[in-house]
Chains A and B, each alone.
Chain A
């Protein structure tokens, strides 16, 4: 692995996004608009906005990075550029690291904008620091990127890749506890929720929002997220085959 090559890949991914200003604008504006929508949905119940708002601010980047990375990497697979990269003196880790760096940077901008809107303009109130929410948002973006990269191996077309969002991410979002407390779910679903990374992403955000600090359990949540990122990237690396049939 070499910092030069990793930086080159990251710069290239960002240049590709720069050539698509509409996608960039959507990535940055849509979460801010949705959180605004949420604020006025809960117009008469500010406590509930506080309870739901912070987890959503932290989970938006996961959704968008999942989509953007699964399609960018799918394009790389189908256009033959991935095959070319793999014939060059480039480590797979450089490719993964480059994508990670680029999308983390983008997620940081996205999280910053939605945080400023939510905390600054809409009066979202959390017990912990808004910075912690932002940092978790970037971590979640990396998780979304790693998952997107992995599922791109199972999609042959962009239509299929888009369908992986409702197939892979939506069930996790339903099970994580954001909509319904996990204690009230069927036992089997609770077990499933415990095995899914988004549950830990939600828990860590919830802890910062409600308790004000991560604490011991929250630190464990973050460790699980980190583990899930590494695992998804490792599995993703396995799908980057230098030799194919």
Chain B
């Protein structure tokens, strides 16, 4: 099943093509990593998939419907890169609000707090939390709606390694439930947690493959080396 299908997508900003994506299919029920350096267009591509990005041309279909259509709003959860939660509310007040707005039960709030491992901070005002903790609250707000597709923009940035692995395990569990996850990261270390990888550079997807496929293709066991090998080849590969 294809969860996201992109054809001939062009996104222009300031007269420049910032994202070009001739064709991309993202498989449903799996964790797909969108990897690439900062500024390569990951966020812009994700915004186009969520349907909040104005596009210059092309077609983006999500769960069979045009991206951003009203019927998708309950089925797609988007976590922005900057934690978009209310700094002047406590963790619990934030999540209670998003739960009410989404029609989720109060029990879901506790579940989401547990899932992202911030229970000790539930009564604290978000402004007083660290960047990583704030990002986790923002992630918890996405989980509340139990969306079929989760688009997560750098959810693990700034977290300690133990928490990072825990979050990737959570993503794996969500995928096992049949949900689709598109998770961006600029750290290729995290690529090994993904079922599939999209490697992006300068606004283009260089390769779409599984981690093993990428290793085979380049002959490098380490995914970071594999990525470097692909980039230095300078040969855009279409999967």
Interface residues in chain B, defined as those with a beta carbon under 8 Å from any beta carbon in chain A = 13, 50-54, 68, 70, 73-74, 76, 78, 80, 82-89, 93, 97-98, 100-103, 125, 141, 145
Subset of 23 A-B contacts with CB under 8 Å: A5-B100, A11-B97, A12-B86, A12-B93, A16-B89, A19-B88, A19-B125, A20-B88, A79-B82, A79-B86, A79-B87, A80-B80, A84-B141, A85-B101, A87-B52, A88-B73, A88-B98, A89-B70, A90-B101, A242-B68, A243-B51, A245-B53, A245-B54
User: Which of A79-95 touch B at CB < 8 Å?
Assistant: 79-81, 83-90, 94
* Shortest Cβ distance from residue A208 to the other chain B in the assembled complex, whole angstroms: 37
Q: Which of A193-211 contact B (CB under 8 A)?
A: none
Q: Which of A15, A87, A90, A244 contacts B76 (CB 8 A)?
A: A87
In the complex, A9 Cα to B100 Cα: how many Å? 9
Q: Which residue of A lies closest to B50 (CB)?
A: A87
B205 CB → nearest A CB, Å: 22
A22 lies within 8 A of chain B by Cβ: no
Partner of A4, one of B83, B93, B100, B141: B100
Not counting A11-B100, A83-B80, a sample of 11 additional A-B residue pairs whose C-beta atoms are within 8 angstroms of each other reads A12-B93, A20-B88, A81-B85, A84-B141, A85-B101, A88-B145, A94-B101, A242-B51, A244-B54, A245-B53, A245-B54
Number of A-B contacts (CB under 8 A): 79
Q: Least Cβ distance of B45 to chain A in Å?
A: 15
Complex contact B73–A15 (CB within 8 A)? no
Residue A234 CB within 8 A of the other chain:
no
Is A8 an interface residue, CB under 8 A from the partner?
yes
A-B pairs, 9 with minimum CB distance: A80-B84, A8-B100, A89-B74, A89-B73, A84-B84, A12-B97, A8-B101, A87-B78, A81-B84
A245 partner residues in chain B, CB cutoff 8 A: 13, 53-54
B contact residues around A9 at 8 Å (CB): 97, 101
Note all chain A residues with C-beta closer than 8 A to B51.
Answer: 87, 242-243
A83 touches B52 (CB 8 A): yes
Smallest Cβ-Cβ distance to B142: which chain A residue: A84
Contacts of A89 in B (CB 8 A): 70, 73-74, 102
Residues on the B chain within 8 Å of A94, using CB: 101
Give A7 to B80 CA distance when docked, in angstroms. Answer: 25
CB nearest neighbor in A for B78: A87
Query: For residue B74, which residues in chain A have a CB less than 8 angstroms away from its CB?
Result: 88-89
A209 to chain B, nearest CB (A): 38
Q: Which residues of B contact A243 (CB under 8 A)?
A: 51-54, 68
Inside 8 A of A7's CB, which chain B residues have their CB? 100
Q: How far does the alpha carbon of A183 sit from the alpha carbon of B87 in the complex, in Å?
A: 49
* A86: chain B residues within 8 A (beta carbon): 52
Closest chain-B Cβ to A130's Cβ sits at a distance in Å of 35
Residues of A within 8 A of B86 (CB): 12, 16, 79, 81
